[in-house]
């Protein structure tokens, strides 16, 4: 464990020698407006340019945990959701929380034309070419799903978005209300693996770097999630710590940043032309490999089902 802490410190010194990222500490808390501004600035300049051309805004995963060149690892989440739709043909109404640029729904709608998709986000989007699919966008905070009827949805999913919530119990409650009995609730997200109060100084620095770079307030302690599941009448179908499936891809992002930043001229140009929201994002992308490797954070997949009332 000590070796990972040393690596985090070494990486911190290296990145700070390349770029002065102190500006990410300018704010202590982030409002919904801050989150909207962050995604407006980064959706093309960052996510499409360096990540997925389709508009996915989440990390890459693979079952074998090996990073090979040219593979679309960001489609992993959609492939797994698509398998669930194939295995459960009764699913007709799907809701995505924090749908971002609609890339996940577009992937699924193409393959499941008989399913109706609704996406909710503070700042939702959908590429023109995908407007022909049965996809409805709602611009709203997902803590409030009052526009959706009780017992009307067969499957709700959320990819790397609930980490923005400081009131997940409310989300679980709302999702339980809108889901039909036995409906699925599927979550892919990152959490803290320790209670906040138990973090050492260097762990607190590591967590804060990732949080502030993504404009999110605080990662939730993973232990709390079981309480929300229990409080809101869900049963766990599957719960998976995906460390071995994400780590090589996160290390690939880290190595790529190191490679680019060793070109001084490129870095100077980068700092001149990109807004701070984009530059600040380098920090969490760079450090996530460390925080997950040292088990300070965990990346989890939960497949839950709303219990049917007896
Ligand atoms: C990392 S992106 C993931 C987007 C999408 N799930 C994907 O996989 O491409 C996080 C998304 O969560 C949205 N978000 C954050 N807080 C939200 C809230 N309170 N209500 C609705 N959407 C929110 C952001 O606007 C952003 O689009």
Question: What's the pLDDT at 279?
Answer: 83
Question: What's the pLDDT at 99?
Answer: 97
Report the separation in Å between the CA atom of 51 and the middle of ligand 1, taken as the mean of its atom positions.
16
8 A C-beta contact, residue 120 and residue 171: no
Question: What's the pLDDT at 153?
Answer: 98
The CA-atom distances, in angstroms, between 309 and each of 32, 170, 182 are 35, 20, 9
Question: What's the pLDDT at 261?
Answer: 81
Question: What's the pLDDT at 166?
Answer: 97
The CA-atom distances, in angstroms, between 33 and each of 10, 37, 121, 122, 277 are 34, 6, 12, 9, 13
Helices (H), the chain: 2-18, 32-42, 76-87, 103-111, 168-178, 201-213, 223-231, 243-261, 264-273, 276-293
Q: Domain total for the chain?
A: 1
Distance, first Cα to last Cα, the chain: 47
Question: What's the pLDDT at 123?
Answer: 96
Question: What's the pLDDT at 145?
Answer: 98
At 146-182, the pLDDT tens digits run 999 999 999 999 999 999 999 999 999 999 999 999 9
Question: What's the pLDDT at 49?
Answer: 63
- Which of 75, 98, 138 to mutate to test ligand 1, by most ligand atoms within 8 A of the CB atom? 98
Residue 167 domain boundaries: 2-306
Distance of CA 182 to the CA centre of its chain: 25
Question: What's the pLDDT at 54?
Answer: 85
8 A C-beta contact, residue 174 and residue 231: no
- Which of 32, 77, 108, 121 to mutate to test ligand 1, by most ligand atoms within 8 A of the CB atom? 121
User: What is this structure's pTM?
Assistant: 0.95
Report the separation in Å between the CA atom of 55 and the middle of ligand 1, taken as the mean of its atom positions.
12
Question: What's the pLDDT at 273?
Answer: 83
8 A C-beta contact, residue 298 and residue 241: yes
Report the separation in Å between the CA atom of 56 and the middle of ligand 1, taken as the mean of its atom positions.
11
Report the separation in Å between the CA atom of 87 and the middle of ligand 1, taken as the mean of its atom positions.
27
Q: What is the CATH number of the domain that holds 23?
A: 3.40.50.150
Question: Strand, coil or helix: what is 94?
Answer: strand
**Residue numbers in the chain where pLDDT is lower than 50:** none
Q: Find where tokens 């009448």 sit.
A: 233
């Amino acid at each position: 464990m000590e070796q990972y802490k040393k690596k985090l410190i070494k990486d911190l010194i290296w990145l700070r020698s390349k770029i002065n990222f102190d500006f990410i500490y300018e704010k202590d808390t982030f409002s919904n407006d801050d989150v909207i501004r962050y995604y407006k600035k980064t959706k093309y300049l960052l996510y499409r340019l360096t990540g997925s051309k389709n508009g996915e805004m989440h990390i890459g995963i693979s079952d074998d945990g090996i990073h090979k060149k040219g593979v679309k690892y960001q489609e992993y989440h959609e492939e797994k959701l698509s398998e669930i739709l194939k295995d459960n043909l009764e699913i007709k109404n799907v809701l995505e929380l924090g749908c971002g640029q609609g890339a996940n729904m577009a992937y699924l709608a193409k393959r499941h034309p008989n399913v109706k998709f609704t996406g909710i986000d503070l700042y939702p989007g959908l590429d023109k070419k995908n407007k022909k699919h049965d996809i409805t966008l709602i611009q709203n905070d997902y803590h409030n799903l009052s526009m959706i009827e009780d017992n009307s949805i067969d499957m709700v999913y959320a990819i790397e978005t609930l980490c923005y919530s400081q009131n997940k119990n409310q989300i679980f409650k709302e999702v339980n209300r809108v889901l039909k009995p036995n409906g699925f609730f599927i979550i892919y997200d990152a959490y803290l693996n320790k209670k906040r109060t138990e973090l050492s100084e260097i762990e607190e620095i590591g967590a804060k770097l990732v949080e502030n770079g993504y404009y999110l307030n605080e990662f939730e302690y993973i232990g709390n999630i079981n309480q929300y599941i229990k409080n809101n009448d869900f049963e766990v179908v599957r719960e998976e710590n995906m460390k071995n499936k994400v780590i090589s891809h996160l290390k690939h992002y880290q190595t790529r940043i190191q490679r680019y930043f060793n070109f001084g001229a490129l870095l100077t140009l980068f700092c001149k032309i990109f807004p701070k929201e984009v530059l600040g994002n380098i920090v969490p992308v760079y450090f996530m490999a460390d925080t997950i490797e040292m088990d300070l954070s965990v990346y989890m997949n939960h497949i839950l089902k709303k219990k049917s009332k007896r």
